[in-house]
Structure 1
């Protein structure tokens, strides 16, 4: 059975979601064959991304670099489209505003796919990953830390689900 596909969503697809995509792919690649998700089935998008694709925000790329990761130079922002709810098994919002936008866009029968990323982080369910775009550079590092917690929780959750499925 194919591993679940994941779409990580923020507002403009310039900071949080491309950072999340980069971190999640790196974590999964480091896990190798034991990874519960396929890094090739991880993407990001924005609920309000500009019509013309843009590159990752330079401050987000710098925060990734400080943590030992590199933003994908080929990355271009994109807007969430209705087909995403069919294509992706999990559509994970960075904050409540994006969660609400996604729930409005998502067909009723696929609503269970739409969740808040930090709901996967122990002790952070219901919390948001703040948008660092209009904040000082240090906010990007804080966001990176929160992303790491949510994404590790997601990996742990998917690992448990895969183990339960194989035991059944």
Structure 2
């Protein structure tokens, strides 16, 4: 299964989701992340998110931000957005006939809220990681791994 995680800038939530899911899945899936904006293309994940993930044994340092593009609908089997605004931005780029499912990450962790709050603004990197881990565990169960 090829899974793409998407947030706004691809420097906090989606690279963290990529790192967490990669760690949990143990190589069973092809995983990537992207942002709906082009603000940080080529940049590493945000320092405080790297530090918070690193404290949990998850190394985000090799990752670099990239922008989501319409071609991702053909490259991935599942696209996951961190919030409703990300989902809307993703769907605006959906090519005619593309059937790739787009889901909200929190759909995989019922009762944990309707979105993954952006820690770039909330400054709650550990709280975001707690939610990302719960969602990633639910996604892994859903995929039958």
Same fold (TM over 0.5): yes
Q: How many residue pairs were aligned?
A: 145
Matches within 5 A, 1:9-158: 9-29=6-26, 37-38=28-29, 41-50=30-39, 52-71=41-60, 73-124=61-112, 127-136=114-123, 139-158=124-143
Change (3 A) 1:42 1:135: same
RMSD of aligned Cα (Å): 1.8
Q: CA contact under 8 A between 1:14 and 1:54: conserved in structure 2?
A: yes
Q: Secondary structure of 1:134's partner?
A: helix
Shift of 1:52: 4.0
Deviations 1:40-89 (A, max 9, x none): x1000000032641111001001101212221x33110000111011101
Distance in 2, Cα, partners of 1:8 & 1:91? 6
Contact 1:103 1:111 in 2 (8 A): no
Q: List, as ranges, runs of 4+ consecutive aligned residues in structure 1 with deviation greater than 6 Å.
A: none
SS at match of 2:103: strand
Which consecutive unaligned segments of at least 5 residues does structure 2 have? Answer: none
Contact 2:79 2:100 (C-alpha < 8 Å) held by counterparts: no
Gaps of 5+ in 1: 163-168
> Partners in 1 of 2:118 and 2:72 — Cα distance?
22
Relative to its length, the structure with more helix (as a share) is 1
